[in-house]
Structure 1
């Protein structure tokens, strides 16, 4: 299950592209390698340390690859380098588990939300069916997979679709989930990573909340002196630092918007109206700004944007807490950002996109007349028709290629929808796109009419 979703059961094991590319191992002629043997080898690698570990590391991997066919070597290479994109995302695998174990997909989805780990969820489903899945409960100290919001076309449309709603600020912060049990506090990210050791300011704040036990969902962000949000990456930089000077310079401010447990009572299945009432009794000044059943939601959106935030989230008051976007009980409303950018290159796809040119390299126009300046990549939004068209047309304007990428003459313009931009040292222009997706190609525009790097930089908040 872990392999199919492109992850390792052991987490990071210190094996990257350079390590693997230096191993020259002839593939096996016939398939004989088992999943268990691969997992055992990765276990061995993950435990290696100290003097001589690098040589032993290479030896174990060489032995593993020697037992793999050419196709299996390719799979392992992409799995170990984080480049396995074969289409088996978590949503697909939830349905696959349900089918394999002959259990309702909703039972799998709920168990996955509570366990936070797809492999353990699959094991329970195959071992004991619905009864084993039902054994998963909310546990203090074990993070719950977060509920997410889906995009809405408009604020009025979101309110009309959901009926009785709560309208809250949508902040460009980092998602956090805090667990309090007495004086013990744990803080987790959206990906369920434990960052407690890096956010002492948050743990002290949560420890002082007026409750004995709680699980709260929210956002945290670093603020400027005038209370406006700092760039997203500055907030994220705190999650990996324990340096006292950085902690003091970038204090984190939480904004809680949901309560999943309070003083012994689990609230996951309670309607949002009830969860919000519990939250208001405990979050105090750290409550996410918003209004229950507003007569006019437009002023809330305007106030959010005016104070430097992204927009609003509209939430159905009768909805329970459910991981993922399924059901669309939460809808996010943000001003749409688009840019017209130049296609610089495309990478060959993986999985169901094998044989197609997929992942686009995107560039902004240099106003001084130089070549386009790269600002990001995306494969999102590409339909089957566009993939086929790209694969057919891109070689006609190819400048050169390597094993993975076809580089193009800077002629094509594509319209890209994005959440915003952030500063980045990865690209020459110093900025990178956030959550970019293809809307359409612009045959009515040539590269001289693409947006400039100055226009991209102007989208930086603050």
Structure 2
């Protein structure tokens, strides 16, 4: 398949606002792509490279050669050149890489050059997020979208899953299994304004678990080999020796557990989230950091134990297995009840202990990896949302010279874009102002010398607010009341941000 075919579909998807329209454009191309090129096509249309990173930045993309007038480059040609670019290393690598980039760009048209520049810089935003691409793969392959989604949670790389579906259909998708050492997307929780509402959603009796303000971890063990992954699927094994030791001390030698690591004070109350995340992600001088700020681990779910996959079992059965697998001191405190008063008292005790709140869990829910289902519902003592920063305004007065006022957006799953919900400059310390000024200048997506700096929608921020009200000022027809910054979330990606539907459910 020619690269220009993918480029034209990408442009058609960008111009199309309706989800079904996007799916139709993508499915039409996927239905005719050759099996050997399917993974490449899906990667490019998802805004990714099969090689992930090839070491090409903006500086390398300056002074490009003249484009060709006729499109002849195939997906295989382009992929092979990108693989060669990634392999360049050692003395003279910068010049060699630039020469290969010139070779690549001289072989494509101006339309293809523009596409490749955005693809290489990570700025190919066309609304073909995982949800849209999953439906397109299902339509093109004839496989149910639920089977595509499940295979994705187990494999973790949509292009590989899509290529399997296109070549082998449902049977190929069913061949994907949970693999120890390969992270799967974690199950996520919805939200409710209070414990009673959460119990109504989950059904009673239900389990309530402490919601810790720590770093989500997925712990894999195969024999003496251990891998620890974050919720963004980054491997942090060397940074968390406490967790490695805890996992190796368990009787099972083949398991995958879901949990949280958190830094606790001597009195058992939690350190701030920033302290925990800094400790868990720092790569240098780990022994000293461990002595100064030890981490505690609490497991709350079991995905695999003794070689048996548990994803499809109900929560209650997975908990029974987890309880037999790990000692009580490594388990997240939990209460199972059908009594609202007891549940609310449990919630109150959690808050008094300094933790975030509770997660109410249906006893019958399977582990819906990668999805925010109704089986888990988080409850906090205040309204909070994880939103994405869309732009920032320069401050004045004491904040002159600092990027201050944040433009906040919620994710729209239908379009793949973000919907602005208002602005805030509240809750920002001098330290946060300095940090965010540097951060957002790095993410600037346009001029930085005006009043408002537009930024690439990549930074997630957690905000507290008093409610959601109707407002004609913003595209979504809603605005947050008295929004204030709680913290930035380096552990979350833009696709993890709360959706516009979640915000709408909270509207007064």
TM-score over 0.5 for the pair = yes
1:71 to 104, 111, 135: 111
Within 5 A, what are the aligned runs for 1:23-422?
23-164=63-204, 165-237=206-278, 238-243=280-285, 244-284=287-327, 285-295=329-339, 296-325=342-371, 327-337=373-383, 360-362=390-392, 368=398, 373-374=403-404, 376=406, 378-380=408-410, 414=422
Please state if 1:427 is matched with 2:436.
yes
For residues 122-177 of structure 1, what are the alpha-carbon distances to aligned partners after superposition, in whole Å with 9 as ceiling and x for unaligned?
12111211111111112222222211112224321121122132111222222111
- The residue matched to 1:228 in structure 2 has which SS? coil
Higher mean C-alpha displacement, 365-374 vs 82-91: 365-374
For residues 28-64 of structure 1, what are the alpha-carbon distances to aligned partners after superposition, in whole Å with 9 as ceiling and x for unaligned?
3333333222221221111111011100111111222
Between the aligned partners of 1:19 and 1:103, the Cα distance in structure 2 is 41
> CA 1:64 to 1:141, structure 2 compared with 1: closer, same or farther past 3 Å?
same
Between the aligned partners of 1:136 and 1:169, the Cα distance in structure 2 is 32
> CA 1:300 to 1:434, structure 2 compared with 1: closer, same or farther past 3 Å?
farther
Between the aligned partners of 2:487 and 2:139, the Cα distance in structure 1 is 49
CA contact (8 A) 2:185 2:369 kept: yes
Between the aligned partners of 1:139 and 1:168, the Cα distance in structure 2 is 27
Match of 2:4 in 1: none
For residues 310-362 of structure 1, what are the alpha-carbon distances to aligned partners after superposition, in whole Å with 9 as ceiling and x for unaligned?
222111110111122354211122244579xxxxxxxxxxxxxxxxxx97324
Match of 1:396 in 2: none
Structure richer in helix, relative to its length: 2
> CA 1:168 to 1:308, structure 2 compared with 1: closer, same or farther past 3 Å?
same
For residues 351-382 of structure 1, what are the alpha-carbon distances to aligned partners after superposition, in whole Å with 9 as ceiling and x for unaligned?
xxxxxxx9732459767585884265544257
CA contact (8 A) 1:415 1:441 kept: no
Between the aligned partners of 1:459 and 1:261, the Cα distance in structure 2 is 32
Match of 1:404 in 2: none
Consecutive unaligned residues of structure 2, counting only runs of 5 or more, are: 1-41, 441-458, 475-480, 490-508
1:6 to 18, 23, 47: 47
Aligned residue pair count: 411
> CA 1:443 to 1:105, structure 2 compared with 1: closer, same or farther past 3 Å?
closer
> CA 1:106 to 1:25, structure 2 compared with 1: closer, same or farther past 3 Å?
same
Between the aligned partners of 1:148 and 1:418, the Cα distance in structure 2 is 28
Between the aligned partners of 1:419 and 1:182, the Cα distance in structure 2 is 47
For residues 182-203 of structure 1, what are the alpha-carbon distances to aligned partners after superposition, in whole Å with 9 as ceiling and x for unaligned?
3222211222222223322210
Between the aligned partners of 2:395 and 2:191, the Cα distance in structure 1 is 29
TM, length-normalised to structure 2: 0.71
CA contact (8 A) 1:178 1:215 kept: yes
Between the aligned partners of 1:142 and 1:117, the Cα distance in structure 2 is 11
Deviation at 1:457, TM superposition (A): 7.4
CA contact (8 A) 1:365 1:372 kept: yes
CA contact (8 A) 1:379 1:437 kept: no
Consecutive unaligned residues of structure 1, counting only runs of 5 or more, are: 340-357, 391-412, 445-449
Between the aligned partners of 2:464 and 2:141, the Cα distance in structure 1 is 35
Superposed CA RMSD in Å reads 3.9
State the 4+ residue runs in structure 1 displaced beyond 6 angstroms. 364-367, 382-385, 387-390, 416-422, 429-433, 457-460
- The residue matched to 1:106 in structure 2 has which SS? helix
> CA 1:288 to 1:34, structure 2 compared with 1: closer, same or farther past 3 Å?
same
CA contact (8 A) 1:376 1:433 kept: no
